[in-house]
Every structure is written in C-alpha cells, then in structure tokens.
Amino acid sequence: MLILFHNEINLDAAKNVILAGVKSVVLHDKKSVETWDLGANFYFSESDIGKNRALVCANKLQELNTTVLVTADTSEITEALISDFQVVISVLFQL
C-alpha cells in the first residue's frame, strides 16, 4: 500500500491501516519537516525539523504495529511508482 503523505489526513489514514495490520505500507513525501508542521502533526518534534517527513513518520508509525513493514519513499511520483501498488491512498493531492 502506498500512501502519498502530503497532509495530516493521510497521516491518519496511515495510522489506521497500520493498526489494522496490512502487510506493508510505503509512505511517500519529498518535503522536509518545517516549524509549522509541529502544530499539525503529533509525530514530529523540534529535533525533526529539516528531516524528510516520510522518513521521520515511518520510524514512529512502525512502533504502532511491528508486524507491518513500514517504509518511506522520497523519489519522484511517477506512473511506474504508482503502478507497483495495488492500493494508493491520496487525500487532497492531485496526481
């Protein structure tokens, strides 16, 4: 399952599917944590500023369910990337 991670709604979706126990989740985001993200995402802390958002959240979301493989992808979104997945979650992001 690929989750295009560009807002807090997608973070909540990621949390829910990880807790539900899907086999694997790939979080995608190319952006870095900024100061304003700290108020909108409870998985970020000041020490995460400047780090990739998907990488930071993948580590923390993995702790919710160790039977689910949670990884991050920071590459460009391409048709080839999306075609590798049976399920893609994207809220408020236009492909």
pLDDT of residue 93: 54
Q: Which of 8, 10, 12, 56 is nearest to 32 (CA)?
A: 56
Q: Are 57 and 43 in contact (CB under 8 A)?
A: yes
Share of the chain above pLDDT 90, in %: 52
Q: Virtual CA dihedral for 74, 75, 76, 77, nearest 10 degrees?
A: -70
Q: Which of 18, 24, 21, 20 is nearest to 2 (CA)?
A: 24
pTM of the shown model: 0.85
